[in-house]
Amino acid sequence: MSDLTPTLEPPAGLLSADSLLPPETYAGYAIDGLTPQWVVKPANRREAAQVLGWASSEGSKVAPWGGGTQVSLGNPPEELHLVLDLSRLDQVVDFQPADLTVTVEAGITLESLQRHLATAGKFLPLEAPLAGRATVGGILATSSVGPLRHAYGLPRDWLIGIRVISPAGDETKAGGRVVKNVTGYDLNKLYTGSLGTLGVIVEATFKLAPLPANQSALVASFPSVQQGIEAGRTLSRQVFSPQGLQVLNGAASRRLELATESQPMETGMEAVMPAAVLAFFAGRPQALRRRLTESAQLLKRLGATSVKQKQDADALALLRGVTDLGWAEETRSEMVLKINLPPAASLQMSDWLQADPAFGGNYAGVGSVVDVGFGGIRLLSWGPSGGTAEDIRRLRETAGTLGGSVVVEQCPLAWKRELDVWGDLPSGMDSGMEIMRRLKNKFDPHRTLNPGRFIGGL
């Protein structure tokens, strides 16, 4: 708890008339059961800096807010007094198609930015659930990724410049607006993935990529998740491998209405749930056709019972569906777990999940999505099965033996009161955590921003 006592409301003259939202809106900004005392939607960066500086001086605890799509990520806040909604900071500041760079305000949504870039044949290889609401600042703060991360990497790989407001209300910048920028500390990587605990991102500059001429996908059905993973690993090693490769179990594939690829098949005394292998491709038409043909032939040789092709709009819709799985209203899951693993350990982890009574005992309720190229697994629950806080602890122990970890991205609030969503700190992390604590104390000495929500209670 802070030694300072927050005042009742921001002083007159600090904000424009419409920047302080009315109290009836505050419930929509609640985080893990805590409703803020105020919600401020600044009209510009100056207002954002002024209100953040005032809040810090008064001992108020502040949560930055973009589109609110990933607000369930993180431990419950220690305190919450003010939410800083940055959605009005949504402008494209500078776009240089010839230089493959763009500078934007942090409140612009990913979907809006991509539409703007597409007019010049460019795109930004960022991915996030609910792209129509997810903002650039939120994507950077959470280091959000999607099905194509094996090909395109992480958000920090495309970030070349950033502007941040400190808790004291001072605006600082790092990097620049050109790709070849190698001076100073790389603060871009420090802020990316810090969950808004070090500063509030208000502007970002990215390098861009040419917009792919065509998009395609293959949907292949396999008798089991294990066979799908093995086939996917073989495909990922080919020169014609896809940009993204996901293996979905029956529960997950049904949520994407891939029902014909996900009916149970009886094998002896046990029912084996089929897997849907999704391979995403992009490129020029002639090269794309050859990659699709060779990939489909390989998947069939590896045991696929069917292989279907999706083109352009249908392929993009499938990609969005996988990205939004568990977050969109029609597929919302009460539990989303991200299991981070070395790629070689995915098969062992899948075997354990299938045998486990909580996570594998009820395929109608628990979905799994395996990222073959990157090695991670997402677990989602839509039914009575899906584990408890104690089941998650057991899952973490198993993942740890395979060199992995488990982050709880979404779960009932009662679970958050029983466990740390980021997991227990592994042995050997003491020095790393000490550095992180020192950084937090240096950047945010009054613990103004998202106190307690990040790893280790930062």
Three-state secondary structure call for residue 54: helix
Residue pLDDT, tens place only, 283-303: 999 999 999 999 999 999 999
Q: What angle do CA 126, 132, 135 make, to 5 degrees?
A: 55
The amino acid occupying position 314 is D
Contacts 24+ apart (CB under 8 A), 258-265: 258/219, 260/221, 260/306, 261/219, 261/220, 261/221, 261/306, 261/308, 262/221, 265/223
Q: What contacts 7, CB < 8 A, 6 or more positions away?
A: 58, 60
Residue pLDDT, tens place only, 19-36: 999 999 999 999 999 999
- Residue 270's pLDDT is 36
Mean pLDDT of all residues belonging to the chain: 88
Helices (H), 161-284: 187-191, 225-236, 250-255
Distance CA 162, CA 201 (A): 7
- Domains in the chain (CATH in brackets) are 1-211 (3.30.465.10), 214-416 (3.40.462.40)
Distance CA 216, CA 286 (A): 12
- Residue 111's pLDDT is 98
Distance CA 449, CA 31 (A): 13
Q: Are 204 and 107 in contact (CB under 8 A)?
A: no
Listed in order, strand segments (DSSP E) in 291-399 are: 306-311, 335-340, 366-371, 377-381
- Flag whether the pTM goes above 0.85: yes
Distance CA 64, CA 70 (A): 12
Q: What angle do CA 381, 357, 424 make, to 5 degrees?
A: 70
Residue pLDDT, tens place only, 248-288: 998 899 889 885 444 444 433 334 448 899 999 999 999 99
pLDDT higher than 50, residue 88: yes
Percent with pLDDT over 90 in the chain: 69
Structure tokens at 326: 């568990």
| CA 166 to mean position of chain CA atoms | 24
pLDDT higher than 50, residue 1: no
- Residue 315's pLDDT is 96
Query: Looking at residues 139-147, what average pLDDT do you find?
Result: 95
Helices (H) and strands (E) in the chain, counts: 13, 20
| Helix %, strand %, coil % of the chain (to 5) | 35, 25, 45
Residue 91 CB neighbour total at 10 angstroms: 13
Q: What are phi and psi of 95, to 5 degrees?
A: -135, 120
Contacts 24+ apart (CB under 8 A), 129-134: 129/69, 129/70, 129/323, 129/324, 129/326, 129/327, 129/328, 130/67, 130/69, 130/324, 130/327, 130/328, 131/320, 131/323, 133/67, 133/68, 133/69, 133/109, 134/66, 134/67, 134/69, 134/70, 134/109, 134/110
Query: Looking at residues 87-109, what average pLDDT do you find?
Result: 97
Q: Are 230 and 135 in contact (CB under 8 A)?
A: no
Q: Are 51 and 7 in contact (CB under 8 A)?
A: no
Residue 423's pLDDT band, with cuts at 50, 70 and 90, is confident
Query: Looking at residues 61-76, what average pLDDT do you find?
Result: 95
Structure tokens at 5: 């006592």
Instruction: Name beta bridge partners: 222.
Output: 275
Query: Looking at residues 219-234, what average pLDDT do you find?
Result: 94
Residue pLDDT, tens place only, 165-199: 999 999 999 887 776 655 566 889 999 999 999 99
Distance CA 412, CA 318 (A): 28
Residue 415's pLDDT band, with cuts at 50, 70 and 90, is confident
- Residue 254's pLDDT is 87
Distance CA 77, CA 448 (A): 11
Tokens 């700190």 correspond to 425
Distance CA 145, CA 331 (A): 18
pLDDT higher than 60, residue 413: yes
Distance CA 431, CA 442 (A): 17
Listed in order, strand segments (DSSP E) in 176-288 are: 200-207, 209-210, 214-222, 244-248, 265-267, 270-272, 275-283
Distance CA 170, CA 173 (A): 10
Query: Looking at residues 48-69, what average pLDDT do you find?
Result: 94
Residue 5's pLDDT band, with cuts at 50, 70 and 90, is low
